[in-house]
Structure formats: C-alpha cells, structure tokens
Amino acid sequence: MATYRIAVLPGDGIGQEVTPEAVRVLKAVGKGAGVGFEFEQALVGGAAIDATGHPLAPGTLDLCRRSHAILFGAVGGPKWDTVAHERRPERGLLALRKELDLYANLRPAKCFPMLVDASPLKRSVVEGTDLMVIRELTGGLYFGEPRGVERLADGGARAVNTMVYTSREIERIARTAFEVARKRRKRLASVDKANVLVVSQLWREVVTRVARDYPDVTLEHVLVDNCAMALVHRPSRFDTIVTENTFGDILSDEAAILAGSMGMLPSASLGGSVALYEPVHGTAPDIAGKGIANPIAAILSTAMLLRYTLSLEKDADRVERAVVRVLEQGHRTADIAGPGARTVGTKEMADLIVRDVEDQY
Ligand code: NAD
C-alpha cells in the first residue's frame, strides 16, 4: 500500500478549526482508496510565535521537506498585530514559500449552481464560472531589486520597485499552466501588459514558445486591464489564466468574488519538491472559536492535493462530488446561507461531506 506523509500546519484562528476537518476527509479517502496517510502536525504563525518566538517553528520546515505535501490552515490575528515586522505570523508562510520554492499559486474560482445567489454579482454574470488563476508567486515586482525609498535634497522623496523576470522563471510557470490547462478544458489565457511593459513582452515571447510543446491547448494573450473587465463581465469565457505575481494577486482576489464566499475557495502552491495546499481565506478572528467556519475551502484543498501531488484524480473527484452533493441537499454554513436559512456548524458540515465520501467507495 502506498503511504504518504502529510505535514499538517493548522496555524491560527479558524485554521485550527477547518484543518482537522480536512484531515478527516483525507482519512476517509485513505480508507476507501487503500492509500496510507501519515499525518504529522507542526506549528506555524502566531501559534509558533507563542510557543517558540518564531513564526516558523524550528522543525516545521524540516517536517515539510520530509513530507509529500503540506496541508496549511491560516496564520495571523489581532493578538500578533504589534509583533515586529520580521516576526509577524505571515512571515512563517512567506518563509515556507521561499524555502520550498513554491513559485506557482493555483486558485480555482468556481461558482456552484446552488450558490449562484451568494455572489454579489448578477446571476447572469456568474453562472457557469469555472476558472483557475495561476499566479507566479516568487518573482516580479514584489521581489525585484533595486527597491527602496530615497530622500531627496529638495525635501521630497523617490521610491522604486522593480518588475523583473528571467525567461527561466517565465518558462517554468508557463509549463505549470499548460499542464494544468491540459487537465481542464484545454484553454489557457496568458495575461500581461505587453503594450506597455518590456517585461510583459518577454513574458509573451516565452509563453508563445512554450505553447509549441502543448499543441492540444489553445493559447490566447489577454491584456491585464481587459482581463479585469472580462472577469466581472463574462467570467465563463475563461478556463485557465496564467499571469505574473502582481497581476495575479489582484485578479485572483477579483475572481474570488465570483464564488460567493471566501469559505469556498481552495488553493495550491506548487514548485519545488513539496506542494502546499491551503484555503484562500485567513484566520477570520470575527468568527474564530465559534465552530461556525465553513470547512469547504480546506476540504477542497485536499481534493487539489489528491489531484496535483498524488495524481489520484478519481479520489479528488469524489471529494468534490461530496461537496456538491451536500450543498445540493441544502446544507449551508452561515457564510453561504441566505437569510432565515437553517445553518450547520463546521463539524456538522464536515461530517456530512465525510459520510458522502465514505459512501462513494
Ligand atoms: P479573512 O479571510 O480571515 O476573513 C474575511 C471575512 O471572511 C471575515 O468576515 C470572515 O469571517 C469571513 N470568512 C473567511 N473565511 C471564512 C470561512 N471559512 N467561513 C466563514 N467565513 C469566513 O480575512 P481578514 O479578516 O482580512 O484577515 C484576518 C487575519 O487573517 C489577518 O490577521 C490576516 O493577516 C490573516 N490572513 C491570513 C491568510 C493566510 O494565512 N494565508 C490569508 C488572508 C488573511
């Protein structure tokens, strides 16, 4: 029997509530599919600061490196807002991304038919949305040098950030995107600003070259301003989108609105030898500890883990199907319930999904 080690990093706030439910779903899959999972938990974020003084506890990175995949919750909260910048909870996550070279961030945004009215956008706009935004995560404007603020003799100041990409960085994210598009509806939109930025011109050149290795995937180039507009006008025209760090940061949040609630959105960060799977949402201090957080984003992250790290497509489908069925039966956590609807808590929602997964084997 194949056995996989999963590093479990719940972090803070509702991360500690939804991650154990995601683990339960993986255990159900393991039992049904005859796959062994070994779960090992470690500290990250505020919980790690409290216990060790560091947002990435000693040993956590080591555990991640020894694992096949990482199941991450969320980090941060008001308790640590006054901690020095380099010791803040999110530094734990940023350090993991950097150390593990997680350069590709995958964020699906799907509008489930039964939740169409949970989106602030019109039904006619969001209906049929099922897209994946792939954001380059370790390069571009957020990391480029030189950067800094210079005080000028006239009393003013001058600030600089640098958008920089090498052809190697573009090629590897492009290959990830073509591979993902191949597993979906075989359409890839590469988003850039090639009419203005030379970095985008190189981006376009490299993506076009990589496309020759994927003749079964249809590639289009879309300008970022156009893409931002199309996402809230006709999102169903997109399947897979690939873009650089800054554009991806903005567009993936815009796409999140299409799905209705942060509690529905999973993500994957791929790159080096081990990938990290986490809900898109944060620690939700306003509802933490109440047992009402939606566990679906964390649970759908396990489906991504099964699909992208373990290539267990059918089992990933089972988890996604279980979520759809439980929603079709009318069960809702508070964040996706309409006014007056009966709601279930975190545990009850996960119980329903686990039971459905078990029934599929
Ligand atoms: P948030 O995602 O935690 O919450 C935004 C809103 O969505 C809140 O009203 C919250 O109650 C709701 N929400 C989020 N997830 C939900 C779920 N699963 N079920 C039901 N409702 C849900 O964003 P925020 O409030 O801006 O940030 C709170 C803390 O989380 C901050 O400290 C921030 O730095 C941190 N954060 C961490 C990550 C991460 O670890 N990857 C990401 C974003 C924010």
Q: pLDDT tens-digit profile of 208-243?
A: 999 999 999 999 999 999 999 999 999 999 999 999
**Per-residue pLDDT, 40:** 98
- The model's pLDDT over 267-284, given as tens digits with 9 standing for 90+, comes to 999 998 899 999 999 999
Instruction: Report the topology of domain 120-137+166-259.
Output: Rossmann fold (3.40.50)
**Per-residue pLDDT, 205:** 98
Written out in words, the top-level CATH class of the domain with range 1-104+262-361 is alpha beta
pLDDT band at 118 (very low <50, low <70, confident <90, very high): confident
Q: Taking the domains of the chain in order of start, what are their residue ranges?
A: 1-104+262-361, 120-137+166-259
The one catalytic residue in 12, 192, 239, 249 is 249
- The model's pLDDT over 131-145, given as tens digits with 9 standing for 90+, comes to 999 999 999 998 899
Higher-pLDDT residue of 103, 57 = 103
Q: Is 260 in the pocket of ligand 1 (CB under 6 A)?
A: no
Q: Is 335 in the pocket of ligand 1 (CB under 6 A)?
A: yes
**Per-residue pLDDT, 341:** 76
**Per-residue pLDDT, 357:** 98
Active-site residue 193, yes or no? Answer: yes
Q: What is the pTM of this model?
A: 0.93
**Per-residue pLDDT, 167:** 98
**Per-residue pLDDT, 340:** 75
Q: Is 294 in the pocket of ligand 1 (CB under 6 A)?
A: yes
**Per-residue pLDDT, 58:** 82
Question: What rounded mean pLDDT belongs to the chain?
Answer: 95
**Per-residue pLDDT, 26:** 98
Do the domains spanning 1-104+262-361 and 120-137+166-259 agree at the CATH topology level? Answer: no
Region 151-160: mean pLDDT is 97
Instruction: Indicate the top mutation candidate among 283, 301, 323 to test ligand 1's pocket, ranked by most ligand atoms within 8 A of CB.
Output: 283
**Per-residue pLDDT, 262:** 87
**Per-residue pLDDT, 243:** 98
Region 117-140: mean pLDDT is 92
Residue 173: what residue type?
A: I
Nearest Cα residue to atom 44 of ligand 1 = 282
Region 79-106: mean pLDDT is 92
**Per-residue pLDDT, 120:** 85
pLDDT band at 2 (very low <50, low <70, confident <90, very high): confident
Region 34-44: mean pLDDT is 97
